[in-house]
Amino acid sequence: MDINIPMKNGNLLDKYTKHTDNQYKENGRPSISFPVDIDNIPADTKSLAFSLTDLDSIPVCGFEWIHWIGANIDPKIKHIPENAAKDNSIEYDHGYNSLAGGLLNMKNDPMSLGYVGPTPPNKKHNYTFTVYALDEKIDLNNGFWYNEMIHKMNGHIIEQEVLNLPVEN
């Protein structure tokens, strides 16, 4: 598979990060999800899933920060449009990001179910965007957790592709 996400000078575009204009933020957080193009999807794929996480957050908060997860995308969809996390322009199951977890306990915040953009607190962070081609639609609905998605995908991943998205502090 091939993943293409708009970048400039090797970094995720500012529009999708803490460097965005206030019009693209909710409660001070970047809220507009970036577009994704996916090509060369394996022919036997029955659904796609994705994750956007921050491993560089581990020294800061003690765990891998989850920014955006989704599952059960029809493999015929090769373009996830900008702001798909909020405008439902494509059908997929939305998972909780780290705002919903026990540390912040913001599960009732509308931004906890969808995209919350990168906001590196201390230095440049490399965000990991992974697309998974699966041999079945996995048993998840809106409001699932990342670990649930990982467990449900176990044994069903045909192929996965990773793209690192650096963001300057």
- Per-residue pLDDT band for 104 (boundaries 50, 70, 90) equals confident
Q: Which of 2.130.10.10, 3.30.1490.20, 3.90.280.10, 3.30.2130.10 is the CATH number of 2-167?
A: 3.90.280.10
Q: Rounded to an integer, what distance in angstroms lies between the CA atom of residue 101 and that of residue 11?
A: 27
**Is pLDDT of 109 > 90?**
no
> What is the rounded average pLDDT of the residues 7-31?
95
> What is the rounded average pLDDT of the residues 146-152?
98
* pLDDT of 81: 97
Task: Judge if pTM exceeds 0.75.
Answer: yes
Sign, CA dihedral 82-105-148-62, equals: positive
* pLDDT of 48: 98
* pLDDT of 105: 82
